Amino acid sequence: MEDDFKKILVGVDDSEDALLAFRYAMKRARATNAELIIVSVLESNEMSVYQALNKDYIHGEREDLEKHILKYQKLAQDAGVKKVRSIVAEGNAGEAIVKDVIPHVQPDLLIIGSYSKKGLARHFGSQAAYMAKYAPVSVLVIR
């Protein structure tokens, strides 16, 4: 079963356990020669109404996130992962990954951290639980 995971999706948000999930995903992808897809989500619920309506602000935030996620991509490449790409999604993290990213990417495995620095997601039961419950693929939660 383990060797069936040829495409691994990992969610990152700079929280400590997301970094653990990322490190685990890198090792797993390298060991099984799987493709690693790194996703981060621009969460509009963290913006003020003014920021959310300001196209320049949204564009700037997305650009910053895209640059930041490329650092993860380079880390994975430097660690020896041969096939790596990154994606920035928008919206609520759990829903964006389950409803938008997974259907688009079609991974075999989703690896996520159990905690998040984002809003109400400070304890297991929010984003990670949502993804574990509703993702149409296997989900590995790292603690």
The DSSP H or E segment spanning 67 is helix 55-78
Q: Looking at residue 3, what is its pLDDT?
A: 60
Structural domain boundaries, residue 109: 2-142
Q: Domain count of the chain?
A: 1
pLDDT tens for each residue of 58-106:
788 889 999 999 999 999 999 999 999 999 999 889 999 999 999 999 9
Report yes or no: 132 and 139 within 8 Å, Cβ to Cβ: yes
Answering whether pTM is above 0.85, one says yes
The DSSP H or E segment spanning 11 is strand 7-11
Cα–Cα distance measured from residue 105 to residue 101, given in angstroms and rounded to the nearest whole number: 6
- Assign residue 119 the CATH number of its domain: 3.40.50.620
pLDDT tens for each residue of 116-130:
555 444 444 478 889
What does each C-alpha distance from 50 to 17, 41, 99 come to in angstroms?
A: 31, 20, 27
Cα–Cα distance measured from residue 43 to residue 96, given in angstroms and rounded to the nearest whole number: 9
Q: Which of 12-21, 42-51, 128-137 has the lowest mean pLDDT?
A: 42-51
Cα–Cα distance measured from residue 36 to residue 5, given in angstroms and rounded to the nearest whole number: 10
Cα–Cα distance measured from residue 126 to residue 75, given in angstroms and rounded to the nearest whole number: 28
Report yes or no: 15 and 116 within 8 Å, Cβ to Cβ: yes
